[in-house]
Amino acid sequence: MALFTLRSLRKDFGIKEILKDASFSLDEGDKVGLIGTNGSGKSTLLKMIAGLEHSDGGELWVNSSAKIIYLPQQPDLNEENTVLEQVFADSGEQMSLVKEYEEISDKLTHGHGDMDRLLEQLSRVSERMDQTGAWDLETNAKIVLTKLGIDDLEAKIGSLSGGYRKRIAIASALLSAPDVLLMDEPTNHLDALSVEWLQSYLNRYRGALLLITHDRYFLDRVTNRIIEIDRGDLYTYSGNYSYYLEKKAEAEDSAQSTQRKHAGLLRRELEWLKKGPKARSTKQKARIDRAHDLQAMEFKQANAKVDITTAGRRIGKKVVELDRISKSFGDRTLIKDFSYNFTPEDRIGIIGSNGAGKSTLMNMIIGKLQPDAGTVEIGTTIHFGYFDQHSDDLAEHGNQRVIDYLKDVSELVKTSDGSVITASQMLERFLFPGNTQYAPINKLSGGEKRRLFLLKVLMAAPNVLILDEPTNDLDVQTLAVLEEYLEDFNGCVIVVSHDRYFLDRTVEMVFSFEPEGEVRLYPGNYSIYLEYKKDEAEKGSSNAKEQANKVVKEQKSSNVIPSVAETTKPKTESKKPSQLSYKEKREYEELEAKIPKLEEEKTQTEKKLYHNPPTGHTELQKLSDRLAELTVAIDKSTERWLELAERL
């Protein structure tokens, strides 16, 4: 059953046409990811569906019986409410029943009113609470809030930070049990554990979901359909984010092939016309008309991508040296006795819960904040580029035009290939067309502002790049280009992020903020860090810590990045027999027959999941789980086969 339907919906902001002819439906059980470049209209579309933004044409039909909850990027909450009161605000009948039950119980306890009538009311309310599941409301609320990192349930909303308000809004939306949940960047301000929990919760969620997120792991594991907004048009892909990437690449290759064929045909037709055929037969006239039609034919160019081609600068051997630094605020210790010498090749990821001290460490590295103890020494060649979490610099220039904001840095920009271009040309490479360049900054979308600020940071040609939550509000296309840029960046990169995918792509060592001000070092990316944490839980934290510290020291001296296998398993010396035993030979033969069967089953499962996905969520989840099992089984079997084959 359709919960809402868009037919030829249009939206135009004057300087930009957001939607041209948007049509799609959301059905029960759909979990749809909405993607597109910043400013393409993703948030606007969600607001239109929620009834908060009008359209300029077309039709939007919403099922009158469907309950729709909209979770914006910046939720508007009642500052006088406590956390629990706010969470229950959208719970409707359930919360009313809980309150009524408590009031009747209080009257019965104190003997106020007609006891028989009160008992009758209590029985009626209790029966209704059974029917609606209201008994579990408060318990579920406490569980959800705890999983999202909210402990003080009586705190006033007005006393909480923006990050905590977002978490409370998520809890309120989930507990209201809507038929349709519209979520705009739900993973912003959540740490990795909270994101993992939310991902698991939404996988089990029975209602329909339409969400915008930059977290590609989250997008890949939660959605069963992707809708892309590309210059006013909608494109639908029946699968998760991995399936979208595959089909998008195929579509772009096909479009390029079609354009090449069109160009070749047009060239041949034009050559024929230039020869000036003397006769004007019907056949020749048709060919002339075809040539004119070919000339008039237009193709939609591939979606433009951010082009990061800024120049770098030389970096010396001494970068930043931290020697036994400590920092406290009141009786709370954020960093205690921490030392580390950064190198020009470092790719560091910094993780930890909100308020753990990550941004404090960044501010001490750049000299904005002084440690309570210890020293921070900065190399003479170092030039910092600090992409801070809130883009504070933009807030100070809200009324300034985009082009003028960039010209304050430089009117001419040197690119990585040595050429010099204007600030306007650089803006075009960052997807700011001419009309947008002369708009005031406060007219840009949140993502466009972040992209503009990133450009300003990179234009200054830093050799130490500090990115504090870079994935907040940047679209997935820009993030992919930024990741490629960081791979070739000639300098030190320090990233503070909760985005698991971004950390896996960009870092080679993790600083983890632990309780009581301890900062622990783990070699490898975020996935390898998780392996270490798992190893700690299984084998004891002391052994795992010694193992991690040992690998870090070896890595610092050799500048060699260890593999997952090398970093997650202690290295032991063992002499293996040169030949296989009879039992091992049998195992080797069985694996040779088993692996192709597993791979064939995996191929068939992928076809079912991505090319012809089932409509039922339960069946879809079974296929996804089986695919994950097959992947693990193939990896383990192949690893064992290689080990036996090497000895054979």
Highest-scoring range by mean pLDDT, 295-309, 337-351, 530-544, 558-572? 337-351
pLDDT band, residue 513 (cuts 50/70/90): very high
Read off the tokens for 224: 């069963």
Q: Check residue 285 and give its pLDDT.
A: 60
pLDDT band, residue 560 (cuts 50/70/90): very low
Read off the tokens for 204: 């089990």
Q: Which residue has the higher pLDDT, 209 or 578?
A: 209
Q: Which residue has the higher pLDDT, 587 or 473?
A: 587
Give the other-Cβ count within 10 Å of 301's Cβ.
9
Q: Check residue 190 and give its pLDDT.
A: 81
319 pLDDT higher than 90: yes
Q: Check residue 615 and give its pLDDT.
A: 64
610 pLDDT higher than 60: no
State percent of the chain over pLDDT 70: 81
Read off the tokens for 460: 């200054």
Q: Check residue 139 and give its pLDDT.
A: 74
Task: Read off the pLDDT of each residue in 481-490 and give the average, rounded to a whole number.
Answer: 86
Q: H-type helices in 408-475, by residue range?
A: 423-429, 434-437, 446-459
106-to-99, 119, 478 alpha-carbon distances in Å? 11, 12, 57
pLDDT band, residue 568 (cuts 50/70/90): very low
Q: Which residue has the higher pLDDT, 605 or 524?
A: 524
Given a contact cutoff of 8 angstroms between Cβ atoms, the answer to whether 406 and 459 are in contact is yes
What is the Cα 611 distance to its own chain's centre? 24
Give the other-Cβ count within 10 Å of 76's Cβ.
8
187 pLDDT higher than 80: yes
491-to-273, 311, 318, 569, 571 alpha-carbon distances in Å? 57, 12, 11, 31, 32
Q: Check residue 372 and give its pLDDT.
A: 95
pLDDT band, residue 495 (cuts 50/70/90): very high
* CA 245 – CA 247 distance, rounded (Å): 6
pLDDT band, residue 543 (cuts 50/70/90): low
Q: Check residue 570 and give its pLDDT.
A: 39
Read off the tokens for 277: 């055929």
pLDDT band, residue 554 (cuts 50/70/90): low
354-395 per-position pLDDT tens digit = 778 898 999 999 999 999 999 999 999 999 999 987 777 777
In three-state secondary structure terms, 297 is coil
Q: Check residue 273 and give its pLDDT.
A: 56
Q: Check residue 279 and give its pLDDT.
A: 42
Q: Which residue has the higher pLDDT, 255 or 541?
A: 255
Q: Check residue 545 and give its pLDDT.
A: 60
591-604 per-position pLDDT tens digit = 888 888 887 888 78
Q: Check residue 263 and give its pLDDT.
A: 64
639 pLDDT higher than 90: no
Read off the tokens for 366: 């750049």
Which region, left, alpha or beta, applies to residue 357 given φ > 0 means left and ψ of -120 to 50 means alpha? left
Q: Check residue 564 and give its pLDDT.
A: 37
Q: Check residue 299 and give its pLDDT.
A: 45
* CA 46 – CA 40 distance, rounded (Å): 12
In three-state secondary structure terms, 377 is strand
Of 81-95, 341-355, 423-437, 553-567, the poorest mean pLDDT is in: 553-567
221-270 per-position pLDDT tens digit = 999 999 999 888 898 998 888 888 888 877 777 766 666 665 666 666 56
pLDDT band, residue 344 (cuts 50/70/90): very high
Q: Check residue 189 and give its pLDDT.
A: 77
Q: Which residue has the higher pLDDT, 141 or 211?
A: 211
Q: Check residue 85 and give its pLDDT.
A: 79
* CA 126 – CA 106 distance, rounded (Å): 15
585-to-324, 556, 589, 590, 596 alpha-carbon distances in Å? 55, 41, 6, 9, 18
Please give the mean pLDDT across all residues of the chain: 80
Task: Read off the pLDDT of each residue in 547-565 and give the average, rounded to a whole number.
Answer: 52
Q: Check residue 566 and give its pLDDT.
A: 42
* CA 270 – CA 285 distance, rounded (Å): 13
pLDDT band, residue 47 (cuts 50/70/90): very high
Task: Read off the pLDDT of each residue in 563-567 and give the average, rounded to a whole number.
Answer: 39
DSSP string, 145-195: HHHTT---TT-BGGGS-HHHHHHHHHHHHHHT--SEEEEESTTTT--HHHH
Read off the tokens for 53: 């933004």
153 pLDDT higher than 60: yes
Residue/partner pairs of 411-417 with CB below 8 Å, 24 or more apart:
413/310, 413/311, 413/459, 414/310, 414/311, 414/461, 415/309, 415/310, 415/311, 416/309, 416/310, 416/311, 416/312, 417/309
Q: Which residue has the higher pLDDT, 413 or 83?
A: 83
Read off the tokens for 68: 């729709």
Q: Which residues contact 88 (CB under 8 A, 6 or more apart)?
A: 95, 98, 137, 141, 172, 175
* CA 633 – CA 619 distance, rounded (Å): 21
Which parts of 200-331 are beta strand (E)?
208-212, 225-230, 233-237, 320-329
β-pair partners for 387: 467
* CA 351 – CA 530 distance, rounded (Å): 12
Task: Read off the pLDDT of each residue in 581-585 and give the average, rounded to a whole number.
Answer: 75
Q: Check residue 576 and give its pLDDT.
A: 42
Q: Check residue 484 and give its pLDDT.
A: 85
* CA 552 – CA 531 distance, rounded (Å): 15
pLDDT band, residue 573 (cuts 50/70/90): very low
Which amino acid is present at 181? L
Q: Check residue 343 and give its pLDDT.
A: 93
Q: Check residue 369 and give its pLDDT.
A: 92
194 pLDDT higher than 80: yes
432-459 per-position pLDDT tens digit = 888 888 888 888 887 888 888 988 888 8
210 pLDDT higher than 50: yes
**Could you give phi then psi for residue 191, rounded to 5 degrees?**
-80, 175
Q: Check residue 618 and give its pLDDT.
A: 67
What's the CA angle centered on 404, arms 403 and 407, to 5 degrees?
90
